[in-house]
Amino acid sequence: MLYLTLIVCFVASILITPLIKKLAFVIGATDRPNYRKVHQSIMPRLGGLAIFISFMAGIFLLRPENSYSFAIMIGCLIIVITGFCDDLFELPAKYKLLGQLAAACSVVFLGDLQMVFINLPFGGQLQFGFFSIPFTILWIVGITNAINLIDGLDGLAAGVSSIALITISGMAMIQGNFYVVAVGSIVLASTLGFLFYNFHPASIFMGDTGALFLGFIISVLSLLGFKNVTFISFVIPVIILGVPISDTLFAIIRRIINKQPLSAPDKSHLHHCMLRMGYSHRQTVLLIYAIAAFFGLVAVIYSQARIGGALFLIGMMVIIIEIIAEKIGLMGKDHRPLLNIVRTLKISTAKDRS
């Protein structure tokens, strides 16, 4: 039944997207070019609605059961309404945040989904206690916004989200978590159907309707798959979502360095930097897909590693991410602390030899 449902979701997304495209033009849910945008013409930006409708069709057909199902569906509805209103009216940031908080709170309070503790690698537990609720809400809102921030090129957010969904669903299958497998696969099939129209050159954008929905459902599925487990497993969703999380973290660092508001838009995200390096639109998207797939592979390897190997892998990944970020200018052209240290060491070594 699952395979049939996935086919239905994929085909439904392909058939519904052109209709949503017409609707977007009729109601004025379009994206106009500006100095921050890469596209040069007016584009419909309600495509996420096609993903959501296909997703709901799959949920209705398969009816995966879980104690969190009702709360998750309420949260999905709230986040999609928030995204739809933003695509139509361009909501102020504070109203978008309120919608995201409402969606997150519906899962936390209606579904009682919380990350209560993690088992530490060398024994004992880290109990979140009162902070389990704000921590869980912060995770959901943070990942939701992270996916939204990378939605800057044709097919980028849809592709990166699909890779994350494949990894999450695959690891849930190994763990025997059918609910996460089912919901993740349904979202994946619906997203891939939309990607048929969204990959470069795109004829429609997913808009905030799609980006917020994908970010929300991915954040919730990652919590369902890896909550209340070991420190090793706790880090797995962070690795899986390495591309949007690292891009968001460096955006925050960049704005702090430049003394800008955290909500201030700019053109220094990962995809912007790669475009400035000379990569084409399609090459940039495919390279970021490859990076996201690499993170997914590392997550799988990490899940099978022992504590020492896992901690070593984390350390190496942090160093690699930092070097890449400094190389391409994610924190700004002049902020390269690690590379400057390496350069200083090289100079010192060369002087000692001479």
Q: Are 62 and 2 in contact (CB under 8 A)?
A: yes
Distance of CA 259 to the CA centre of its chain: 26
In tens, the pLDDT along 113-132 reads 887 777 665 556 677 778 88
User: How many structural domains are present in the chain?
Assistant: 1
Average pLDDT of the segment spanning 196-207:
93
pLDDT of 234 reads 66
Taking the C-alpha atoms of residue 310 and residue 276, their distance in angstroms, rounded to an integer, is 35
Q: Are 74 and 237 in contact (CB under 8 A)?
A: no
Cα-Cα end-to-end distance for the chain: 72
| Predicted confidence (pLDDT) at residue 38 exceeds the cutoff of 70 | no
Do you find a cis peptide bond into 201, omega within 30 degrees of 0? yes
In tens, the pLDDT along 255-314 reads 888 777 776 777 778 888 888 888 898 999 999 999 999 999 988 888 777 777 877 888
pLDDT of 13 reads 97
Backbone phi, psi, residue 44, to 5°: -70, 140
In tens, the pLDDT along 145-155 reads 999 988 888 99
pLDDT of 311 reads 79
| Predicted confidence (pLDDT) at residue 68 exceeds the cutoff of 60 | yes
Strands (E), 77-129: 117-119, 125-127
| Predicted confidence (pLDDT) at residue 183 exceeds the cutoff of 60 | yes
| Predicted confidence (pLDDT) at residue 25 exceeds the cutoff of 70 | yes
124 Rama class: left (phi>0) / alpha (psi -120 to 50) / beta: left
Between 222 and 335, name the one with better pLDDT: 222
Tokens of 158: 């849809």
pTM beyond cutoff 0.75: yes
pLDDT of 354 reads 61
Q: Are 41 and 224 in contact (CB under 8 A)?
A: no
Strands (E), the chain: 30-31, 43-44, 117-119, 125-127
pLDDT of 119 reads 63
Task: Provide the 3-class DSSP secondary structure of residue 348.
Answer: helix
Q: Which domain holds residue 190?
A: 2-353
| Predicted confidence (pLDDT) at residue 16 exceeds the cutoff of 70 | yes
pLDDT of 115 reads 79
Single out the residue of 75, 216, 213 nearest to residue 140, CA to CA: 216
Q: Are 137 and 131 in contact (CB under 8 A)?
A: no
Task: Provide the 3-class DSSP secondary structure of residue 220.
Answer: helix
